[in-house]
Amino acid sequence: MQLLLTNDDGVNSDGLWALIREACKVDGLRVLAVAPDRERSACGHGISIHQPIEVQEIDSPCEQVSVFAAAGTPADCVKLAIEGILKEPPDFLISGINRGPNLGTDVFYSGTVSAALEGALLGVKSMAVSVTAFEGISFETAAEYAIAQALSAVTDSQWPALVNVNVPPVPKSSLAGVAVTRLGVQAYRDAFTKRQDPRGRTWYWLGGTLQEHDDPEDSDTMAVRNNMISITPLLTDLTDFRAVETMRRLPLAWPRRKD
């Protein structure tokens, strides 16, 4: 089995190396890790088309794992690995383990999820994995789960092309189980802080405070609140098929011709 690893926190992140250490324990598993050479959090699905992507190999803790740092985005790393480095597509892709949650509508901004999406677009079963905390994190439980799930999913014909996993930051003994969920909502208030520099020029710092709200019980946000690992199947096709049928019955505008 050939496993591909990537992330958006950078090649030196603790989450990625927790996955690498866990992968080293599996006999017969070949692993290629290609990750950004620096943090690329919240970069979405950007790709580099105006500059070359420098690649540097990094020392690996075991012979079956090869690690590369790439001067590109998470999506770049996946494209580079699948279309430039590997001779054959990998059997499975894990993107992560991300420091911090990728819940609800935040998946649209996440470099972690975008890397997994790129894998799915290239025909590889892919999983984005995050631990829902920023400080004092232990990645071992999430790494153990992710590798075990990848080994199981690769031979399961019913496993979806793309899933998003969020692991609560609690000891394994405190986990309440695994829940298959839908996306919740992540809404923020005071997203921008306005300031002026010493020369009087205005600048804005994007941040914000997460608003408390009630999500459906079957959402990813509620699962994590209940100390459950959330796994959400995602689609690569954003088409609203119900709206397609509705719009086909609507009168559509057409540009007027100039006389």
Banded model confidence at residue 214, pLDDT cuts 50, 70, 90: confident
Q: What is the CATH number of the domain that holds 223?
A: 3.40.1210.10
Higher pLDDT, 184 or 207: 184
pLDDT beyond 80 at 39: yes
Report phi then psi at 247, rounded to 5.
-70, -25
- What is the average pLDDT value for the chain, to the nearest integer? 93
Residue 190 lies in a domain: no
Banded model confidence at residue 258, pLDDT cuts 50, 70, 90: confident
The total number of structural domains in the chain stands at: 1
pLDDT beyond 90 at 259: no
**Tens-place pLDDT, residues 156-171:** 999 999 999 999 999 9
Q: What percent of the chain has pLDDT over 90?
A: 84
**Tens-place pLDDT, residues 63-75:** 999 999 999 999 9
Residue 106 lies in a domain: yes
Closest by CA to 13, choosing from 175, 150, 129, is 129
| Strands (E) located in the chain | 2-6, 30-36, 55-58, 65-70, 92-99, 126-131, 162-167, 177-180, 188-189, 192-196, 202-206, 209-210, 228-233
Angle among Cα 95, 98, 100 to the nearest 5 degrees reads 150
Residue 198 lies in a domain: no
pLDDT beyond 90 at 189: no
pLDDT, mean of residues 113-138: 96
Residue 90 lies in a domain: yes
Residue 241 lies in a domain: yes
Structural domain for 137, as ranges: 2-185+215-247
Residue 70 lies in a domain: yes
Residue 207 lies in a domain: no
What is the per-residue pLDDT for 165? 98
Residue 201 lies in a domain: no
Q: What 8-state DSSP symbol labels residue 25? A: T
pLDDT, mean of residues 136-154: 96
